[in-house]
A and B are shown apart, each in its own frame.
Chain A
Amino acid sequence: MEIIVCVKRVPVTQEVDLAINPQKNDIRKDMLAYVINEWDNYAIEEAIKLKEKLGGTVTAVTIGSEDDEEALRRCLAMGADKAFRIDPGNLVMDSFVISKILAQFIKGQPHDLVFTGVQRDDLNEGAVGTMLAEHLGLPHAEVVRRVEPAGNEATIRVELEGGTDEVSKIKLPALLSIQTGINEPRYVSIMGIRKAAKKELNVAGVDTLGLAATDLQPRTMVEEIFLPPETEGAQFIEGDPATIAEEILRILKEKGVSI
């Protein structure tokens, strides 16, 4: 089974104060820590699990700068066989451009399954997977939380709302957007990442892929980013933990909760 997994590195923005850049079209990222996108981490784990069961090759691909190779090294340490980085240079990319670049790369690689994460943690767009499937002409499914390949098809489980799952059969090759919680991603040690340094990591400029200028033209543009509108928000309870606890218990009583 040949599996290609599209991954990316995203900034950690929880429990961090974010600053808007001078152009007001993004945040300042120079001081932020980066991690592999959470959904992609589950996607790479799922690919490696399938490879361990069925044999084959797992290839990780990212579009990004040299710093983004960190995400690929992590995939290699987890058990991916090959990694590719496509360097976009200064290209401005929206989901459409990203999906075009990935499609062009994947066309030249053998694949029975292509995985993406459901969405990227920073912008939550969730559009690349389905666009990519359209460019490649592959059957696809979104928000997948189980994959069981058998022969030339796979049984999949898609997570809908309210605790309902939808079970389908999908023909291979196919593209699946993987949901968090589908597996338990394995732990990667610093040692493991060092060992994986010997594995193949290829780099190519986006200009080497033979894409047309219209493929690299974004169809949407961020005009401005801004702070959320003011809401009333929470009334903050101040004081030491004992005072806070007392106040919480008072509120519970006031709201008619019997303890």
Chain B
Amino acid sequence: MGEIFVVVEHRKGEVREVTYQMLWKANDLCQKLSHTLTAVLIGGKDEPFLNELKERADKVIVVEGLQNFNGDLYKEILFRLIQENKPLLTMVAHTPWGMDFAPSLSVKLGYPIVTDCVDVVIDSGKPKAVRQIYSGKLFSRVAFQEAAGYLITIRSGAFPAEKVGEHKGEIVRKPMPADLPQVGKQFVGFEDAGAGAVDITQAELLVSIGRGVGEADKVPIVKELADKMKGVLSCSRPVVDKNWLPKYHQVGTSGKSVKPKVYLAFGISGAFQHVAGITGAGCVIAVNKDKKAPIFRVADYGVVEDLFKVVDALKAKLA
């Protein structure tokens, strides 16, 4: 009987939701393959969510003694655990931290890796990865070259996070390996990148702009509409990258998650990192010139039109 590893991602004493999503999928795969499910927790002493993990896996391997995340140390510790246990599949979160060690772990182990996956399927007893390409306009199914084991990184939000099955996870404590190498990167601290004058998380109505606005000079045109509607102006990542608006306006994975009654999206294509931030919105209305824009797959209402024509028409109605 084989094994599936899920690498637990956690920060500041809290497990990251993507860990539970990976465990949900791994549980499904384990049932199909008659494999056992092992969560691997590398962290400080007595992480508070250990009991929660026990209920979601057959085994929890705990390696204590690493106060702060370090990708190279994760790689070294996991390399040793994987060599010892030989899991068929190891699942890692496709996050800034997961991406800091999963590809190098794949090289060190000689195991193939597929990154940023939204599904894992089993074909003749072997895992295959499903991922989105070309901004989510297409999907691709990727097979691995035959190897002793495989690595997959999972996109946050790809699966539900709920508890499934009956697990009484056995806790297996492992000492921190004594032969870890010196690493070239040292953690200094966390900093808040996004505090500012506007709180988009509390707004009832968000009027949000994306790359489709075209240039910095056009931003005030939509801001005016937001003011007229007593809404708050927010935006997608490209708008912040281009310095058209400060970071505290940004909705999405690297910005804020929002929960307005209505989210009115102008010229936002709907990259998954953005969509992940609006799952709490009551209603999404999207205006975009591209009928195939991924935002229309998640919006409640869609308008295929030049956004400025709609903005002007709304202003005229409110005048």
Contacts and interface: CB of A to CB of B under 8 A. Distances in A.
Contact of A234 (B113, B257, B296): B296
A27 B230 contact: no
Contact of A167 (B138, B189, B293): B189
Nearest to A235: B301
A241 B287 CA distance: 11
B316 A245 contact: yes
B177 interface: no
B305 A241 contact: yes
Contact of B107 (A13, A135, A225): A135
B178 interface: no
A248 interface: yes
B88 to A, nearest CB: 16
A160 B71 CA distance: 14
A245 B316 CA distance: 9
A16 to B, nearest CB: 8
Given A96-B112, A123-B133, A246-B317, A167 B190 contact: yes
Contact of A13 (B101, B137, B300, B310): B137
A241 B313 contact: yes
Given A162-B254, A174-B185, 8 more contacts: A130-B71, A141-B185, A166-B189, A169-B185, A181-B237, A222-B140, A249-B317, A259-B228
A15 B306 CA distance: 13
B314 interface: yes
Contact of A160 (B96, B115, B129, B250): B96
B194 A163 contact: yes
Contact of A130 (B100, B116, B204): B100
B186 A251 contact: no
A233 B142 CA distance: 26
Contact of B145 (A217, A222, A241, A251): A217
B185 A171 contact: yes
Interface residues of B, number: 106
Contacts of A124: 116, 131-133
B185 A96 contact: no
* Interface residues of chain A: helix, strand, loop or mixed (majority): mixed
A127 interface: yes
A126 B113 CA distance: 11
A157 B107 contact: no
A219 B103 contact: no
A259 B240 CA distance: 27
B228 to A, nearest CB: 8
Contacts of B114: 220
A251 B283 CA distance: 9
Nearest to A227: B138
Nearest to B140: A225
B8 interface: no
B230 A255 contact: no
A234 B300 contact: yes
Contact of B313 (A133, A141, A229, A245): A245
22 contacts: A95-B113, A131-B104, A139-B184, A140-B100, A140-B104, A142-B71, A143-B99, A159-B96, A160-B95, A163-B192, A165-B192, A166-B191, A219-B145, A223-B142, A224-B141, A226-B139, A233-B297, A244-B313, A245-B313, A248-B264, A252-B205, A257-B261
B269 interface: yes
Given A143-B99, A244-B305, A181 B229 contact: no
In the A-B complex, list the 6 residue pairs whose CB atoms are closest, starting with the nearest.
Answer: A139-B184, A163-B194, A234-B302, A181-B241, A219-B112, A245-B313
A61 B158 CA distance: 34
